[in-house]
Chains A and B, each alone.
Chain A
Amino acid sequence: MIFVTNFLTRRGTALLATWRIWRDTLLFAARAILTAATPAAYNSATRTVVMKQIYFTVVQILPGFTLFAALLSYVLIQIVVTTAASYGLSEYALEVSMRLLVLELLPLITALFVALRSSSAINTEIALMKINGELLALENAGVDTMRLEFMPRVIGGMISVLALTAFTSVIALVLAYLAVYGWQTWSLPDFSRIMGNVFQNTVLLGIFLKSLAFGLAVTVIPVAEGMATPRMLFMAPISVLRGMVRLFFLIMLIEVASLAFKYI
Chain B
Amino acid sequence: MADVASHREFLAKNDLIAEQDNALVSPDMPLRANLSVIDNIALIPQYRSNLKYSMAADQAWALLVETGFQDMYAKRDPALSYSERFVAKLLRGVISKPAILMVDRPGMLLPEVHYPPFLFSILERMAAYLNDCWIIDYQWNRALYGAQISYPELDYPELPQTQP
Contact = CB atoms under 8 A, between A and B. Distances in A.
B23 interface: yes
A148 interface: yes
Given A133-B29, A133-B30, A142-B96, A44 B44 contact: no
A138 interface: yes
B44 A140 contact: no
B162 interface: no
A132 B47 contact: no
Contacts of A46: 47
B92 interface: yes
B24 interface: yes
Contact of B21 (A129, A137, A142, A147): A142
Interface residues of B, number: 23
A45 interface: yes
B121 interface: no
A143 interface: yes
A141 B50 contact: no
A48 B96 contact: no
A143 B44 contact: yes
Given A128-B33, A137-B29, A45 B96 contact: no
Contacts of A185: none
A75 B52 CA distance: 47
Interface in B128-163: none
A140 B24 CA distance: 8
A176 B30 CA distance: 53
A104 interface: no
* Dominant secondary structure of chain A at its interface with chain B: helix
A128 B30 CA distance: 12
Given A44-B53, A45-B47, A48-B46, A141 B23 contact: yes
A126 B96 CA distance: 25
B34 interface: yes
Contact of B92 (A44, A132, A141, A148): A141
B135 to A, nearest CB: 18
Could you say which of B47, B48, B53, B56 has the most chain A C-beta atoms within 10 Å of its C-beta? Answer: B47
A44 B30 contact: no
Interface in B25-58: 28-34, 43-44, 46-48, 50-53, 56
A44 B54 CA distance: 10
A43 B31 CA distance: 21
A143 B47 CA distance: 7
Nearest to A144: B47
Nearest to B52: A44
Nearest to A43: B50
11 contacts: A44-B46, A44-B51, A44-B53, A132-B30, A137-B31, A141-B96, A142-B48, A142-B96, A143-B44, A143-B48, A148-B43
Given A45-B43, A133-B30, 13 more contacts: A43-B46, A44-B50, A44-B51, A44-B53, A45-B46, A46-B47, A48-B46, A129-B33, A134-B33, A140-B24, A141-B29, A142-B21, A143-B48
Interface of A: 43-46, 48, 125, 128-129, 132-134, 136-138, 140-143, 147-148
